[in-house]
């Protein structure tokens, strides 16, 4: 093969990649793509935010959603969505494993 054929293949590959990027950018601007932004700096000041998503298996996933300062644990599935725990107060300390309540007492998180 000649060098011009390699150049032509590389140019065609770059063209296809550019088309994919342009279509993805257009879909994002039109709102066709899912906007899951967990923990980004943009969404910290919003009232409603997705904190964390954990896939359980191919059909189900756990999601923590924060509204104001209250978090809700939800299991999403194909058939139905289940609220596992609601009104989780923010303030869980990862280092100690304890959650502080309003009176200042520490209770162990089970």
The pLDDT, as a whole number, for residue 12 is 97
The pLDDT, as a whole number, for residue 7 is 94
DSSP per position, 56-103: -SSS-EEEEEEETTEEEEEEE-SS-EEEEEEEEES-B-TTT-EEE-TT
The pLDDT, as a whole number, for residue 102 is 44
Q: What is the pTM of this model?
A: 0.48
**Domain range annotation of the chain:** 1-33, 35-110
Over its length of 110 residues, how does the chain's per-residue pLDDT go in tens digits?
688 999 999 999 999 999 999 999 988 888 776 666 555 666 566 788 888 888 888 889 999 988 888 899 999 988 888 899 888 876 554 544 445 444 444 444 44
The pLDDT, as a whole number, for residue 73 is 92
Handedness of CA 34, 87, 58, 40 (dihedral sign): positive
Measured distance between the N- and C-terminal CA atoms of the chain, rounded to whole angstroms: 67
């Amino acid at each position: 093969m000649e060098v011009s054929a390699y150049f032509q293949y590389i140019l065609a590959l770059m063209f296809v990649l550019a088309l994919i990027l342009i279509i993805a950018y257009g879909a994002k601007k039109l709102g066709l793509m899912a906007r899951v932004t967990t923990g980004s700096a943009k969404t910290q000041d919003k009232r409603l935010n997705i904190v964390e998503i954990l896939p359980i298996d191919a059909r189900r996933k756990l999601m923590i959603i924060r509204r104001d300062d209250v978090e809700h644990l939800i299991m999403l599935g194909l058939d139905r969505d289940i609220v596992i725990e609601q009104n989780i107060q923010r303030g869980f300390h990862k280092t100690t494993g304890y959650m502080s309540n309003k009176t200042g007492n520490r209770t162990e998180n089970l």
